[in-house]
Amino acid sequence: MSREIIAILRGITPDEAIGVTEALIDAGISKIEVPLNSPEPFDSISKMLELAGENALVGAGTVLTVENVARLKQIGAQMVISPDANPDVIMATKASGMLSYPGVFTPTECFSALRHGADGLKFFPAFKFGIDGFNAVKAVLPKETKTYAVGGVGPANFADWQAAGITGFGIGSNLYKQGRSVADIAAIAKDMVASYDEAFGA
């Protein structure tokens, strides 16, 4: 099954890319993001894409410019994730055939992102927005809108967010940190998948 968990690998290096990608896919996490403020992110993404094939969606986070989008298209990335909802970035992403997940916090940002073609909305930082805030905004969004909580979310509150109607999650330092071993990442990922499956009835 394709779980709506996006692994955010901020700080990963090209040397780590293969081992971490294998561990995530084996655990059942098939959406992988390398933020562009990581060391040599395009090299890491290229390696991950070659390894993953059709077994995972691999893309970039912290994508702030149309130029970044163009380079991601060149290397075959499949999704673009941003901390903001820049219409130019969203439109360039869609024109390039990639999935677009911009960061939002207000209804104005949500609807602007959707009008410009976003595939899903990344509520960031989710721990500041809160489930109450999410419920208030979700009430006015189109029912088919895909929504992701990012920042301060993890297995302990998967069920609470699921009950509120969230589509999925972006998980960063709770899953990957610089210096964490592949074995530890694999164990954390497996526990996270088990919690997700329990919360979502998979």
pLDDT tens digits, one per residue of 10-30: 999 999 999 999 999 999 999
Concerning whether 47 is annotated as a catalytic residue, the answer is: no
DSSP letter assigned to residue 194: H
pTM of the complete model: 0.96
> Active-site residue among 16, 31, 109, 122?
122
Residue 198 structure tokens: 């329990």
Please tell me the distance from the alpha carbon of residue 35 to that of residue 27, in angstroms, as a whole number: 21
pLDDT at position 1, please?
Answer: 58
Distance of CA 172 to the CA centre of its chain: 9
CB 101 within 8 A of CB 121: yes
pLDDT tens digits, one per residue of 55-94: 999 999 999 999 999 999 999 999 999 999 999 999 999 9
Where are the extended beta strands (E) located within the chain? 5-8, 31-35, 57-61, 79-81, 99-101, 103-104, 121-123, 147-150, 168-171
Residue 54 neighbours by CB under 8 Å, 6+ apart: none
Per-residue burial over 13-47, b = 16 or more CB atoms within 10 Å of its CB, e = otherwise: ebebbbebbbbbbebbbbbbbbbbebeebbbbbbb
pLDDT at position 2, please?
Answer: 81
Give the pLDDT band (50/70/90) at residue 201.
Answer: confident
DSSP letter assigned to residue 156: G
Beta bridge partners of 170: 6, 150
What DSSP assignment string belongs to 64-80?
-SHHHHHHHHHHT--EE
DSSP letter assigned to residue 177: -
pLDDT tens digits, one per residue of 99-133: 999 999 999 999 999 999 999 999 999 999 999 99
Concerning whether 94 is annotated as a catalytic residue, the answer is: no
Residue 139, burial from CB neighbour count under 10 angstroms (0-12, 13-18, 19+): exposed
> Active-site residue among 33, 47, 109, 138?
33
